[in-house]
Structure 1
Amino acid sequence: MVSSNCSTDDSFKYTLYACTFSMVFVLGLVANCAAIYIFIFTLKLRNETTTYMLNLAISDLLFVFTLPFRIYYFAIRNWPFGDILCKISVTLFYTNMYGSIFFLTCISVDRFLAIVYPFWSKTLRTKRNAKIVCCAVWITVIAGSMPASFFQATASRNDTGHEKNSCFENFSETTWKTYLSRIVIFIETVGFLIPLILNVTCSTMVLRTLNKPVTLSRNKLSKNKVLKMIFVHLVIFCFCFVPYNITLILYSLVRTQTWINCSVASAVRTMYPITLCIAVSNCCFDPIIYYFTSDSIQNSIKKSRTTRIHNSSTSLTSTEKTQASC
């Protein structure tokens, strides 16, 4: 167990959170609004993959909308918005994180079925089934995140003579042992470990299939696209979610007083805010996956860029003609 005499100062996290969340709010808002606009208004051909990506963008955007409250809290170190809004903010945080993991896993499984079992999976890979899967994902992540709202999420503390409220932090050892540790076990198993295994397994099977002699005759450009997709997908998934979820397990062990080593406890409490910020940044990285996963989106962006260039050159030509006539 961790000695009660272990003292760690992790107050740097408030400045780190405020700066990181501010950046994520701006980039995530712009990127995901643009992505949703493309999915709904620009794409003429929608398939099951774009259905998953649209839901992923919606999940990211819902979380982004809660960030101003969190930014204010981390900057002022006081939560004046009440217990209910704190619960909603925390619930949406976990809904977004594990919703992102599930929707990325859906994209990975969909690509696996399309490449490894292209004929057999035709009846499974339909827009209707994709919508059913998305509904199941939303129900799962909301149900899994709801326990965070079953108890008092805010707590009062005395800070240099001023009464301030904290939101979803500074819980007692008892709360961690009896309640929060169980939530961590559940979300780590269902929300991270199983999707991680699925992502790695699906990507490995796709790579094996592409390296088979039967598929070597395929269009080299097409194969390179798939390889690029897998690489970008796994890098973003592992970069954003693996460090945080591993650190969350260690952090839970520290908070439940399961470790004696003060050095380990200090290192974990330092790493937790850093990995959390990396995990939150997935809102900004998801649009990169949309671009590399969907040819339709690439074509849409290229078409809009060509249209802008054409319009601007047309405008310049007309201006030159007007000046010449004068």
Structure 2
Amino acid sequence: MDLRNTTYISIQANCTVDTSYRFTYYKISYSVIFIFGVISNATALRRFCRIPQTFTSTVIYMANLAAADIFFVISLPLRIYYYHNKAAAISNRTNDWSPGGAFCQLTFTLKYISLYGGIFFLVCIGVDRYFAVVHPLHQHLRKVRTARMLSAGIWCLVLALSLTLPLLYSAASRWHKSCLLDPSSKRDHTIILAALGLVQIAYLLPALLLLFSYCSILRMLRSLPHRRKIRHRRTLTVIYWVLVVFFLCFTPYHLKLLGYTLTQVGLVRSCGLAQVTKVLHPIVLSLASTNCCLNPLIYYFSSSLIHKETTGSRGSASQ
């Protein structure tokens, strides 16, 4: 969801907020994210490719997470182009620039593929660590075939979600020419709330699953002697980075989206909340986008863990 094209946007009868900075901010922030995203992913994938080519479930999930990052990185030039033209239209006081429905569908479908692909595969990494530490005897759940089947299912879910959300937005916006959804429109509030519910569920369920995995791992490690805890130090490093990336990037975005939409459709009548969420929208959206720059840190810090697992799996196979 994004903002409309006017400089001052009426939220309630006497509640306005200046958002004229947003298109320039998007253009600059996405340019920076694109540069760092390309560099960090190229560096991490280079290190990733040096790992012995014995696949494990961890390798499968991280490779799919990297693919989700690539989807977002390649979409950034399209988004930069979009916001550059929006900013130019406002500064020149010309008619609103519209890129066309196909451009919008492509750009924002790629965005959702990256956003929810990142969410789901981060959770897969956390759950994979959960079974490795808490249920080491259930190794059939960590087989490469199982990881590949689960990854294929997640991609189907991500693609379905990524295509459904822009279609819902288009249905809610069909009576005006805005490229993006405007929740303040009086039409189709049911569709808008359905899209909001879908987005929140797609975040909350993975968040709860990730927290459960993290707490279970900590409880298990707390009961182990110190010498055995050291053996799982790499696992804790991976879990910490997964949690940091997940909650730093995705929690502010979904909290803001909830408050923003509820105030715009009139279910929550708070001018202060409406103004805050409107002003913070570009910031939290850019923060959510930085996951493509932070995910390579997970590959980097877990490379020794992957090397240990691949070496162990080859050793087991040779016995």
TM-score by length of 1: 0.80
| Structure index of larger Rg | 1
Aligned with residue 100 of structure 1, among 102, 112, 118: 118
Q: Which residue of 2 aligns with 1:56?
A: 65
Q: C-alpha displacement at 1:153, in angstroms?
A: 9.1
Q: Does 1:146 align with 2:157?
A: no
Q: Cα gap change, 1:95/1:139 in structure 2, threshold over 3 Å: closer, same or farther?
A: same
Matched, 1:177 2:189: yes
Q: Following TM superposition, by how much is the alpha carbon of 1:29 offset from its aligned partner in structure 2, in angstroms?
A: 1.8
- Which is further off, 95-104 or 170-179? 170-179
Q: Is 2:186–2:265's contact at 8 Å kept on the other side of the alignment?
A: yes
Q: Which residue of structure 2 lines up, in the alignment, with residue 196 of structure 1?
A: 207
Whether contact under 8 Å (2:259, 2:273) holds in the other structure is no
Contact 1:35 1:57 in 2 (8 A): no
After superposition, the Cα gap between the structure-2 partners of 1:272 and 1:298, relative to the gap in structure 1 and judged at 3 Å, is: farther
Give the Cα separation in 1 of the matches to 2:174 and 2:19.
18
Out of 87, 109, 115, which is 2:127 matched to? Answer: 109
Q: Distance in 2 between matches of 1:187 and 1:154?
A: 18
TM-superposed CA distance for 1:25, in Å, is 0.8
Which deviations, in whole Å up to 9, do the C-alpha atoms of 1:143-167 show, x marking residues without a partner? 112123422698999xxxxxxx753
Report the Cα offset of residue 269 of structure 1: 0.7
Correspondence 1:136 to 2:153: yes
Given that residues 36 and 58 in structure 1 are in contact (C-alpha distance below 8 angstroms), is that contact kept between their aligned partners in structure 2?
no
Q: Distance in 2 between matches of 1:219 and 1:169?
A: 53
Letter in 1 for 2:214: S
Percent sequence identity over aligned pairs: 33
Where 1:118 maps in the other structure, the secondary structure is coil
- Counterpart Cα distance in 1 of 2:172 and 2:62: 31
CA positional deviation for 1:216: 1.3
Give the CA deviation at 1:73. 1.8
1:187 equivalenced with 2:199 (yes/no): yes
Letter in structure 2 aligned against 1:218: R
Deviation at 1:98, TM superposition (A): 1.1
Pick the aligned partner of 1:267 from 267, 276, 279.
Answer: 276
Match for residue 249 of structure 1?
258
State whether residues 17 and 273 of structure 1, in contact with CA within 8 Å, keep that contact through their aligned partners in structure 2. Answer: yes
Q: Distance in 2 between matches of 1:244 and 1:166?
A: 22
1:106-132 deviation line (CA, Å, top 9, x unaligned): 00000000000001x211111111011
Give the alignment partner of residue 297 of structure 2, picking from 272, 288, 311: 288
| CA apart distance, 1:220 | 4.8
Q: Once the 2 structures are TM-superposed, how far is the Cα of residue 37 of structure 1 from its aligned partner?
A: 4.6
Shift of 1:254: 1.7
Q: How many residues align?
A: 287
Deviations along 1:231-264, one digit per CA (max 9) or x if unpaired, are: 2221121111111111111111022122322122
SS in 2 for 1:46: coil
The question of whether the paired residues in 1 share the 8 Å contact of 2:234 and 2:305 is answered with no
Q: Distance in 2 between matches of 1:70 and 1:297?
A: 35
What are the ranges of 5 or more consecutive residues in structure 2 without an aligned counterpart?
Answer: 1-10, 90-96, 309-319
Structure 1 residue corresponding to 2:22, chosen from 10, 13, 37: 13
Question: In 2, Cα distance between the equivalents of 1:149 and 1:224?
Answer: 42
Unaligned segments of structure 1, at least 5 residues: 158-164, 300-326
Alpha-carbon contact 1:43-1:297 (below 8 Å) kept: no
